[in-house]
Amino acid sequence: MWERLREWFSERKQKLDLFDETNVERYDNPLYLLGQIVYFSWIVVIASGVLLMIWYEPTTHGAYNSILRIQHEIPLGWLIRGMHKYGADMLIIAITLRIYRMYFLGEYKRPNELSWMILFGSLVLAMISGLTGYLLIWNQRAFWAAKVVLTVAVYLDQLPLIGQTRFGSAIAFAFLGGPAEGQGTLTRFYAIHFGISVLLLILVELYFLFTRRKRFNLSPTALVILLVMLVVTSWIFPAEMGRRADPNRTPLPILSDWYFLALYQYVKYTPPLWAGLGPGLLIAYGMLVPFLDRSKGRRPSERPFFTVVGIMALTYFLVFTALILFNIAVIGRDPHIVLVLTALTLTLGFVLEVRYRRKVRAAEAAMPRPAPRAAVAARPAPSSGA
Amino acid sequence: MAEEQKAKDVNRRTFLQVVASIPALGALAAFAAPLLRYLKPNLDPGLGVPQGRFPPDLIEGDLPRGEPLPIARVEELSEPWSSKFFVFTQKYPQYTPEQARAFTVPGVAIKLPWKVRFPGYREGKEPTDIVVFSRICPHLGCIFNYVPDWREITAGYGGYMPPPERRHGLLGCPCHLSIYDPADRDLPGRVLSGPAPRPPRYFVYEVRNEVIVVTAVEPGGIA
Ligand code: FES
C-alpha cells in the first residue's frame, strides 16, 4: 500500500510540469506560453509588492491614506501599484486559461495528475491572496467583500456533524482576528497575503533547484510586450481607490474583484449554507477530476461528459459575471432556471458519453482481434498536439 | 547464515528507528502545539462566553448590552411609513489594553399604519405600530436599507415585484437582494425574497415620556 503510493508519487514527481517548461517545442503556440506568463507575472507582483510595503501602513486609520499617498505623491507610485494590481490580474488570467487548456485537452491525465493538483491548488491560493490583498486598501468594496466571504463560513456550523465543532466560526474567527472586521482582520490579511506568495516562492525555487529546469523560456520580445502591456494598462486605467471603508453603509450593488463576481451572483441565488458548500464542491471536483475521468482519450471529443461539464462551468462563470455587473437577479425565478439548465446539460453530457462509448465498442468489435490494442495505444500521442 | 543475520539486522534497525522517532515526533508536536494559539484572536468577546472556549460563538455570544439610547420622540414618527435611523453602541469587555471596545449596530425605527406584535416591544405581548430593527442583514452581515418607496426595490434590488398588499415601505439589502417586510402582521420582518435565512434582528425598546428609548438588541448577528 505505502509502496504503491510512494511509487505513484515519485513517478508523478519526476513528470512535474508547473510552468509549461517541458513543452518547449510548442512555444510557437501562445497557449503554451501561459505557464511562463504565470511565472513572469508572479515575479512582477512580488517585486512591486515589496516596494509597496515600504510605504503601506497596515492600520485601519492609515491604510487608505497611505495608498492615496503612494498613488499620487510618491514618484512612480502609481506605476508600482498598477504593476502590482495588473500583474496579479495577469497571473490569475494566465493560470485560469492554463487550467482550462489542461482540462479541455485532458492534460491532467497520467502522469500529470500531481501537476494538475498543484496548479489547481495554487489557483485557489492565488484567489485567496487576491481577496486578502484587496482588503488592504480598506475601501468599501474590500470591506464588504471580506465581510461577506467570512460570514459565509459561519453558516458551515449548520452542518449536522461538523457543525458541532464550530468549525465554521473557527475559520471566521481565525481570519477576522476578533468578533468583527477591524484592525485584527487587517493585520491577519496582511500576513496571509504576504505569506502565501513567499511560501510558494520558496517551494517553487526548491522545485527549480531539484529539477534543474530552465526557469524562464520567454523570448525577450514576449517579455517586453508583457511589460509594456502592464505599464500601459497602469497608465491608462490607474488602479482604482474606491471609497474609504464605512462599516455603517453598504454600497449598492456590492462588487468584489472580477474573478469573484460569478461567485457573488451564486451567493445571491442560494441559501447561505449552500453558498459555502458550493465552492467547496467545485474545488473538490477540480482537485479530483484526474481520478474521476477514467476515459482513455485526451481529445475533448473522446470524453464528452467532462467536456460538457467544462463548457458549462465556463458559461456559468461568464453569464453570472455579466448578471452581477448589470445587477440583474430575480431570486424567486433564476435559481430554478439554473437548476433545470444544469440538470439538462449534465444529462446531455451523460447521453453523449454513453453514445460515444457504444460507438467505440462497436468499432473495436468490427476490427480484427489484435488491432484495437495497437490503435488505442497509438492514439494519445499524436492527438495531444491537437 | 549471513542472510538470517541480515534479516535480524534489518529488524533491529527498524526497531531502533521506531524507538527514536517517537520522542522526536513528540518533541515536534510539543513545539507545534502552542503555535496553534496564533490562530486564536487576541480579542475576546468575554462575557457570556465560557472563558477559554474556542472559538467564541459568533451567533449566540454577541452581547446585546449597551447604554440605553433615546432614538426619537414619538411625534417624530407620527406619519405612517416615516422612519428614523440611529446607531446603537454595544459594549464588550475585551482583552485589549483599554479593556473595552465598542461595536456599533445601525438600526432603524419605522412607524406602521397598523399594529403588529413586535417582540422588541414589551416582549411582544402588546401590539405596537412602531418597529425597531437592527440593520445588520442576517444573511451575510451587510447593512441593509429602509426603502420607503417599493418601486425602488423593483428597480435596484433585483426586480422583486411585491404583491399588491405589500406595496409599501420595505427593507432591502444591497448585497444579495434580500427583501423584508417590516409590517407583516404575523412576523414583522418576514423574508419576502432573497437568500436571507431569517428576519432581521430587532431592538428592545421602551417609551419613556414620549421618547423611544432603545435598551438592547436581540442577541446575535455579525457586528
Ligand atoms: S448580506 Fe444582506 S442579502 Fe446578503
B173 lines ligand 1 (CB under 6 A): yes
For ligand 1, what atom is nearest to the CA of residue B140? 1
Contact A141, A254 (CB under 8 A): yes
Q: What is the mean pLDDT of residues A35-53?
A: 93
What local confidence, expressed as pLDDT, does residue A341 receive?
95
Per residue in A242-267, pLDDT (tens digit) is: 888 888 888 877 788 899 999 999 99
Give which of B89, B108, B139, B191 to mutate to test A binding, by max A Cβ within 10 Å: B139
Would you say the C-alpha torsion A221, A224, A230, A231 has a positive or negative sign? negative
What local confidence, expressed as pLDDT, does residue B27 receive?
92
Mean pLDDT per block of 10 residues along chain B (223 residues) reads 63 85 91 80 46 39 60 86 86 41 80 91 88 91 91 84 92 91 92 90 89 80 52
Smallest Cα distance from B46 to chain A, Å? 11
SS3 of chain A: the string is: CHHHHHHHHHHHHHCCCCCCCCCHHHCCCHHHHHHHHHHHHHHHHHHHHHHHHHHCCCCCCCHHHHHHHHHHCCCCHHHHHHHHHHHHHHHHHHHHHHHHHHHHCCCCCCCCHHHHHHHHHHHHHHHHHHHHHHHCCCEHHHHHHHHHHHHHHHHHHHCCCHHHHCHHHHHHHHHHCCCCCCHHHHHHHHHHHHHHHHHHHHHHHHHHHHHCCCCCCCCHHHHHHHHHHHHHHHHHCCCCCCCECCCCCCCCCCCCCHHHHHHHHHHHHCCHHHHHHHHHHHHHHHHHHHHHCCCCCCCHHHCHHHHHHHHHHHHHHHHHHHHHHCCCCCCCCHHHHHHHHHHHHHHHHHHHHHHHHHHHHHHHHHCCCCHHHHHHHHCHHHHCCC
Per residue in A208-227, pLDDT (tens digit) is: 888 888 777 788 888 999 99
Best of B135, B170, B175 for a ligand 1 pocket test (most atoms within 8 Å of beta carbon) = B175
Ligand 1 centre from A98 Cα, in Å? 34
List the single residue in B with minimal CA-CA distance to A140: B142
A295 vs B: CB within 8 A = no
What local confidence, expressed as pLDDT, does residue B2 receive?
60
What is the reported pTM?
0.83
What local confidence, expressed as pLDDT, does residue B1 receive?
53
Contact B37, B195 (CB under 8 A): no
d(CA A84, CA A110): 36
Q: How far is CA A211 from CA A14, A28, A203, in A?
A: 8, 24, 12
Cell readout for A195 is: 505569506
The secondary structure of residue B82, as a DSSP letter, is: -
Instruction: Specify the residue for cell string 477559554.
Output: B52
What local confidence, expressed as pLDDT, does residue B66 receive?
62
Instruction: Specify the residue for cell string 491577519.
Output: A188
A166 vs B: CB within 8 A = yes
Among the ranges given (A228-237, A277-286, B11-20, B99-108), the one the predictor scored with the smallest mean pLDDT = B99-108
CB contact under 8 A, A178 and B42: yes
Closest residue by CA, ligand 1 atom 4? B176
B194 lines ligand 1 (CB under 6 A): yes
Its ipTM equals 0.78
d(CA A253, CA A251): 6
> Looking at beta carbons, which residues of chain B come within 8 Å of A183?
none
B135 lines ligand 1 (CB under 6 A): no
Query: Is it the case that residue A280 has pLDDT exceeding 80?
Result: yes
What local confidence, expressed as pLDDT, does residue A253 receive?
73
For ligand 1, what atom is nearest to the CA of residue B137? 2
What is the number of other CB atoms lying within 10 angstroms of the CB of residue A216? Answer: 14
Ligand 1 centre from A152 Cα, in Å? 10
Query: Is it the case that residue A46 has pLDDT exceeding 90?
Result: yes
What is the number of other CB atoms lying within 10 angstroms of the CB of residue A147? Answer: 25
Closest residue by CA, ligand 1 atom 1? B140
What local confidence, expressed as pLDDT, does residue A282 receive?
92
Query: Is it the case that residue A229 has pLDDT exceeding 70?
Result: yes
What local confidence, expressed as pLDDT, does residue A167 receive?
80
A249 vs B: CB within 8 A = yes
Strand partners, B211: B73, B208
Give the strand order in the sheet containing B190-193. Answer: B145-147, B170-172, B179-181, B190-193
The larger pLDDT score, comparing residue A351 to residue A17, is at A351
d(CA A373, CA A344): 35
What local confidence, expressed as pLDDT, does residue B56 receive?
39
The HSE-up count of residue A357 (CA atoms within 13 Å, CB side) is: 11
A327 vs B: CB within 8 A = yes
Q: What is the mean pLDDT of residues A295-299?
A: 84
What local confidence, expressed as pLDDT, does residue B42 receive?
58
B122 lines ligand 1 (CB under 6 A): no
Closest in B103, B193, B197 to A332, CB measured: B193
What local confidence, expressed as pLDDT, does residue A371 receive?
53
B196 lines ligand 1 (CB under 6 A): yes
> Looking at beta carbons, which residues of chain B come within 8 Å of A174?
39-41, 55
Backbone φ and ψ for A247, nearest 5 degrees, come out as -65, -15
The runs of H, that is alpha helices, within chain B are 2-32, 150-156
pLDDT, mean over chain A = 87
Ligand 1 centre from B195 Cα, in Å? 7
Smallest Cα distance from B77 to chain A, Å? 22
CB contact under 8 A, B174 and A250: yes
Q: What is the mean pLDDT of residues A56-72?
A: 93
A172 vs B: CB within 8 A = yes
Cell readout for A332 is: 424567486
CB contact under 8 A, A179 and B139: no
Among the ranges given (A25-29, A67-71, A116-120, B46-50), the one the predictor scored with the smallest mean pLDDT = B46-50
Q: Is B137 helix (H, G, I), strand (E, B) or coil?
A: coil
Among the ranges given (A68-72, A368-372, B116-120), the one the predictor scored with the smallest mean pLDDT = A368-372
d(CA B93, CA B45): 7
B142 lines ligand 1 (CB under 6 A): yes
Among the ranges given (A17-21, A77-81, A300-304), the one the predictor scored with the smallest mean pLDDT = A17-21
Ligand 1 centre from A260 Cα, in Å? 16
Per residue in A163-184, pLDDT (tens digit) is: 777 788 788 888 887 777 888 8
Query: Is it the case that residue A378 has pLDDT exceeding 50?
Result: no
What is the number of other CB atoms lying within 10 angstroms of the CB of residue A45? Answer: 23
